[in-house]
């Protein structure tokens, strides 16, 4: 309530009586009435602004969160200098607040109530987004569904708001909470790995909610696939259509579907989709390299085909496709391979031939971020480590990366701090930043 009032005691007092209401049906009507009563006050404040300033404020209302000056300028057809000047004046007048992030300045509305009054004016008759956001963040999707199913016929407003809070198309208009989204995604993958396909779609939908306006066609496609595995075919078709409608091109969609198949070790289907994608964009470096990795997964004896495919893709985009990107791609596509010990030596040879051992070292260390995720099984982590140990005798360049990887795999198994304390302090500090739940003070 304090945040809504923007620090104004008078407005805080206006809201105080709403704190005692015990249901949405009792809350919404007086809340809407209060916004109506505040509308003239905020309208008069908006009229004090110049047209440019008013346009910026309305844009920040629709953005809902903080926005960088460059983005504000672009969206309002202003040059950066003009936008910065107008934002400085708005800050002096108390309409916006500035936050410095690195070398950039980000701005957001100082008073959330101003945003709500403008939203009310634009969408009268629709659920108040503040209340919808609260329901979405306070209750899980399962809890919202349970509350919806237990409502009496008279609780029409509560029903309307709970249904809005379950609407994914509304959720993707909001700003993201990526930290929470990643945690939910980890939990969803745990269910997927256990073949618990009835629980996974609901968790993935919650991931989409938290990802907000960062959600894209790849997320819609993944959700569609999960619904299909859960035998919710009608909903699956709906969200597949959503993926198709939001994909930038057929090639992008085919690439996304192919990558999903590769991540689940269905290499034959992945290869088919990558061929389709290349029919639309035959000179895509990303797709050519992904196809080479999948080809290799299907026939690990074709070493020359694998290396040739990687080189072909990199030649098309030498400035944007760094060799360091190959390791996370190979980890994602090949971690479920039945014989990693045959795959890894070829990958090692490729990095040696490209004089890119440094990139390989970094790639092995960065794979710790992946194997540390909860949905990656201990067996998969052990096999990844074992495969790289099979090439350790070929040189000392991998000693430190493999020591770090080995400690990370053992930490995943035991959560025993002694595993980490056995490392030199400079190596412990690297793992401290990479491992979840690692004790911070002890390691360094």
> pLDDT digit string (tens) for 378-434?
888 898 999 899 888 777 788 999 999 999 999 999 988 888 888 888 888 888 888
Confidence check: pLDDT of 22 > 60: no
Q: What is the pTM of this model?
A: 0.59
- Nearest in space to 419 (alpha carbons), one of 406, 435, 400, 429: 406
Q: How high is the pLDDT of residue 370? A: 85
Q: How high is the pLDDT of residue 62? A: 77
| Mean pLDDT on 49-64 | 85
Answer yes or no: are the C-beta atoms of 343 and 297 closer than 8 Å: yes
Helices 303-316/340-353 angle, 10° precision: 50
Give 101-133 pLDDT, tens digit per residue. Answer: 888 889 988 877 777 777 666 655 677 777 787
Q: How high is the pLDDT of residue 25? A: 65
Query: Any idea what DSSP says for residue 66?
Result: -
Q: How high is the pLDDT of residue 19? A: 54
- Spatial distance between the Cα atoms of 12 and 94, rounded to a whole number of angstroms: 17
Provide the percentage of residues in the chain whose pLDDT is more than 70: 90
Phi, psi angles (nearest 5°) of residue 94: 90, 15
Give 175-215 pLDDT, tens digit per residue. Answer: 788 888 988 998 888 888 777 888 889 999 999 999 988 89
Answer yes or no: are the C-beta atoms of 201 and 226 closer than 8 Å: yes
| Mean pLDDT on 10-25 | 58
Look up tokens 């809005």; give the residue.
Answer: 164
- Nearest in space to 388 (alpha carbons), one of 409, 402, 377, 374: 402
Give 294-323 pLDDT, tens digit per residue. Answer: 988 888 777 788 888 888 888 888 777 777
SS3 content of the chain, % helix, strand, coil (to 5): 75, 5, 25
Confidence check: pLDDT of 24 > 70: no
Separate counts of helices (H) and strands (E) for the chain: 27, 3
The H or E element spanning position 224 is helix 217-229
Q: How high is the pLDDT of residue 82? A: 92
């Amino acid at each position: 309530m304090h945040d809504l009032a923007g620090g104004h005691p008078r407005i805080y007092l206006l809201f105080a009586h709403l704190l005692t209401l015990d249901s949405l049906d009792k809350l919404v009507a007086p809340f809407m009435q209060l916004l109506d009563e505040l509308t003239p006050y905020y309208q008069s404040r908006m009229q004090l602004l110049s047209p440019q300033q008013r346009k910026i404020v309305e844009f920040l209302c629709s953005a809902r969160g903080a926005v960088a000056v460059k983005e504000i300028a672009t969206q309002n057809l202003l040059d950066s200098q003009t936008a910065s000047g107008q934002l400085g004046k708005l800050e002096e007048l108390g309409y916006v607040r500035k936050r410095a992030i690195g070398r950039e300045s980000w701005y957001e509305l100082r008073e959330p109530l101003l945003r709500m009054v403008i939203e009310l004016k634009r969408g009268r008759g629709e659920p108040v987004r503040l209340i919808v956001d609260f329901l979405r963040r306070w209750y899980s999707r399962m809890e919202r569904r349970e509350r919806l199913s237990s409502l009496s016929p008279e609780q029409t407003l509560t029903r309307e708001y709970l249904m809005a809070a379950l609407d994914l198309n509304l959720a993707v208009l909001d700003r993201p909470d990526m930290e929470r989204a990643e945690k939910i995604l980890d939990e969803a993958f745990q269910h997927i790995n256990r073949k618990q396909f009835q629980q996974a779609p609901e968790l993935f939908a919650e991931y989409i909610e938290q990802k907000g306006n960062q959600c894209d066609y790849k997320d819609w496609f993944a959700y569609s696939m999960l619904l299909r595995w859960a035998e919710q075919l009608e909903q699956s078709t709906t969200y597949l259509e959503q993926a198709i409608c939001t994909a930038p091109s057929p090639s992008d969609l085919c690439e996304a579907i192919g990558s999903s198949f590769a991540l689940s070790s269905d290499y034959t289907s992945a290869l088919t989709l990558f061929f389709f994608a290349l029919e639309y964009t035959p000179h895509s470096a990303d797709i050519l390299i992904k196809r080479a990795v999948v080809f290799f997964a299907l026939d690990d004896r074709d070493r020359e085909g694998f290396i040739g495919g990687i080189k072909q893709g990199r030649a098309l985009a030498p400035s944007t496709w760094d060799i360091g990107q190959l390791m996370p791609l190979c980890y994602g596509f090949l971690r479920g391979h039945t014989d990693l010990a045959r795959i890894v030596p070829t990958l090692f040879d490729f990095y040696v031939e490209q004089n890119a051992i440094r990139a390989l070292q970094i790639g092995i260390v960065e794979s710790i971020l992946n194997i540390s995720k909860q949905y990656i099984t201990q067996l998969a982590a052990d096999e990844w480590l074992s495969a790289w140990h099979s090439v350790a005798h070929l040189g000392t360049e991998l000693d430190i990366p493999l020591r770090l990887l080995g400690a990370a795999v053992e930490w995943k198994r035991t959560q025993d701090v002694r595993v980490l304390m056995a490392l030199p302090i400079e190596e412990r500090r690297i793992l401290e930043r990479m491992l979840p739940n690692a004790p911070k003070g002890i390691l360094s």
